[in-house]
Structure 1
Amino acid sequence: MNLFVSGGAGFIGSNLVNEILKYRKIKKIVIYDNFSSGKKWFLKKSKKIKIIKADLKDEKKLNSAIKKTDLVYHFAANPDIAAAVKNPDIDFVEGTILLRNVLEAMRKNKIKKIIFASGSGVYGDKKKKSLVEDKTITNPISTYGASKLYCENLIASYSNLVGIAGISFRFANVSGDNCTHGVCYDFVRKLFKNKNKINILGNGKQSKSYLHVSDVVSALIKAKNLKFSNHQVYNLSTRDFISVNEILTLALKAFKIKKIEKKYTGGSRGWRGDVPIVRINDNKFRKFGWYNKNSSKETIIKTIKFLITNKKNYRF
């Protein structure tokens, strides 16, 4: 099996590539990445890997690189959700358009399978209501969520028009090795700069599930062996949650900081478009035998440890 992984040098993409290399049936992996957030040090070295440094907006290079692919994993997108506050167009340009180009390249090269990284942001703010794929109304409150939802619908339309079958995963917050954004990254970066004072977005009471990237990868690998039929959507989460204040406590413990001045930006949201409380039901995908090995707390602890250990590589 030959794979094409857009954004393959980024956070989730690099973890998938490093793990899926172990499988004998995988003969070739084309990593297509512009390295805006991806890093070569994230990736293991292997003769199976071919790295193409290019942008998905370059349709000529994309059409050439994607040839003879059996399955596409699409991760390339704007990784910084909060960036849209200052630049609302970013998720359209670095999200929707990129997937459209990938689907067109697939159509032209007669590639029939894609697995897409969506997100729980498609649901919008439902407070503590359990989010269920086939029951909860989607109503995104950010351009990030809107882009992901449009991308899902784009895959569905290509499925009906040209026979491309897709699976979209609506992830909870993902954290772990090789992360480039998120609350853990933010806290660790800030604490390396100043151990006496820290700024916290929102009121610290934001509460969500945090999936370890290794658990996400296990789901992505399991998905490639499922029967692809039209377009299927699956939530993916842990069954617990953790607050920003609790995450800060774990970060301070890792840095062995007992006292620090905390300054909150205020409000229930970390930024405009942030969903402060997220509760995800992922029973639909768990029926295939998948389960998360790491709790939200374990995910946070492991992520903080990884970031501290790799201080030099991250240039904190």
Structure 2
Amino acid sequence: MTSVVTGGAGYIGGHLVDHLIENGEDVISIDDYSSGSYVNEKAQNIKLDLRIAYPTIPKEAIIYHLAANPDVKTSMENIYEHFERDVKVTLNVMEMARKYDAKMVIFFSSSTVYGEGKIPTTEFDEIKPISNYGLFKVLGEEILKFYTRNYGIRGISLRLANITGGRISHGVVIDFIKKLRKNKEVLEILGNGKQSKSYLYITDLLSAVDVIVKYFKGLYDTFNIGNDDWVTVDEIARIVEEEMGLSPKHVYVDAGEGRGWKGDVRFMLLDTSKIKSFGWLPKYSSAQAVRLAVRDALDKV
């Protein structure tokens, strides 16, 4: 079986490439290296801007579509750039899937499609994004659904909680570590510190992908992928400080209503009953995932 990973040089994409190769699959990684730089030499690595073109791929491959701009905050500032990388790229990927009779397309969407919904949030709850990042993920899901309905391409949208650990390059853990390495006495925290979100360690995400590919038999569906609990930003700060042996003063920069920035979802906890029905369970809690991510990052940041 051939697996095609778009965004294979990125954080999640790079880990997925490694994982698929370890599972004995032939892997094609497609990336323009605009934000990611990871390369697994055992993969076929294609440098290509998917906004402009798509390559020739083997028939009946599984396509894991992760190519996108991963920064929620900048989606509210660089709107057209995010649209091109998030929506136009998805359309081109689906055209690639149609032309080469892809066996399945797995789209890595986001919990941001829900905005601030009820807690915990199920796959059947209202879609109401509050960031362009979330909006463009909704559009990506709709493109995938259209192609499954009209061209018979099987598809899955994975609505991810915050994924952390391994070679993570951005997000609150990296932000706190970098700030504390510059100033051990003061830690700037975006928002009011009470934002509460679910975190999942990268290996738990990879095991979830394995389970879905193995057991999903339908034409199209969506799955929440997240943890059973959540942590506050203040708790994340304390974990980072404990691992670094520091006790800084906290300074809060509130963008309004306790948000870290415009479009910041303050509370996120996903109902994962659907994927659990396949037998999947996360190995690590949200706090454990964050602590492992801090330890992973301290040697690299």
Question: TM-score, normalization: structure 2?
Answer: 0.95
> How far apart in 2 are the matches of 1:150 and 1:13?
20
Matched AA of 1:57:
R
Aligned residues: CA RMSD: 1.4
Matched ranges for 1:170-185 at <5 A = 170-185=159-174
Identify the residue that residue 23 of structure 1 maps to in structure 2: 23
> How far apart in 2 are the matches of 1:212 and 1:291?
12
Matched ranges for 1:183-202 at <5 A = 183-202=172-191
Which of 73, 77, 95 is matched with 2:68 structurally? 77
Identify the residue that residue 251 of structure 1 maps to in structure 2: 240
Q: SS of 2:22's equivalent?
A: coil
Which of 63, 72, 91 is matched with 2:55 structurally? 63
Matched AA of 1:106:
A
> How far apart in 1 are the matches of 2:239 and 2:67?
30
8 Å Cα contact 1:121/1:275 also seen in 2: yes
Identify the residue that residue 32 of structure 2 maps to in structure 1: 34
Q: SS of 2:79's equivalent?
A: coil
Instruction: Find out whether 1:151 has 2:135 as its counterpart.
Output: no
Cα offset, 1:230, TM superposition? 2.1
8 Å Cα contact 1:113/1:228 also seen in 2: no
Q: Deviation per CA, 1:3-43, whole angstroms, max 9, x where unpaired?
A: 1000112111111121222223x2x1000011222223xx5
Matched AA of 1:11:
Y
Matched AA of 1:207:
S
Identify the residue that residue 202 of structure 2 maps to in structure 1: 213
Alpha-carbon distance change, 19 to 77 in structure 1, aligned in 2, over 3 angstroms: same
Identify the residue that residue 7 of structure 1 maps to in structure 2: 7
Matched AA of 1:20:
L
Unaligned runs of 5+ in 1: 312-316
Matched AA of 2:253:
T
Cα offset, 1:44, TM superposition? 4.5
Matched AA of 1:8:
G
Matched ranges for 1:290-301 at <5 A = 290-301=280-291
> How far apart in 2 are the matches of 1:170 and 1:237?
8
Identify the residue that residue 51 of structure 1 maps to in structure 2: 45
> How far apart in 2 are the matches of 1:9 and 1:222?
23
> How far apart in 2 are the matches of 1:257 and 1:112?
51
Identify the residue that residue 124 of structure 1 maps to in structure 2: 115
Alpha-carbon distance change, 232 to 253 in structure 1, aligned in 2, over 3 angstroms: same
Q: SS of 1:105's equivalent?
A: helix
> How far apart in 2 are the matches of 1:213 and 1:309?
17
8 Å Cα contact 2:60/2:103 also seen in 1: no
> How far apart in 1 are the matches of 2:292 and 2:270?
22
Q: Report how many residues are paired.
A: 299
Q: Deviation per CA, 1:137-193, whole angstroms, max 9, x where unpaired?
A: 111111111111111111111011111110111111111111121110111111122
> How far apart in 1 are the matches of 2:141 and 2:215?
18
Instruction: Find out whether 1:231 has 2:201 as its counterpart.
Output: no
Cα offset, 1:112, TM superposition? 3.4
> How far apart in 2 are the matches of 1:196 and 1:180?
24
Q: SS of 2:238's equivalent?
A: helix
Identify the residue that residue 314 of structure 1 maps to in structure 2: none
Which of 252, 272, 277 is matched with 1:264 structurally? 252
Question: TM-score, normalization: structure 1?
Answer: 0.91
> How far apart in 2 are the matches of 1:227 and 1:240?
25
Cα offset, 1:224, TM superposition? 1.9
Matched AA of 1:115:
I
Matched ranges for 1:125-144 at <5 A = 125-126=116-117, 129-134=119-124, 136-144=125-133
> How far apart in 2 are the matches of 1:71 and 1:85?
32
Identify the residue that residue 230 of structure 2 maps to in structure 1: 241
Cα offset, 1:69, TM superposition? 4.9
> How far apart in 1 are the matches of 2:245 and 2:277?
41
What percent identity do the matched residue pairs reach?
35
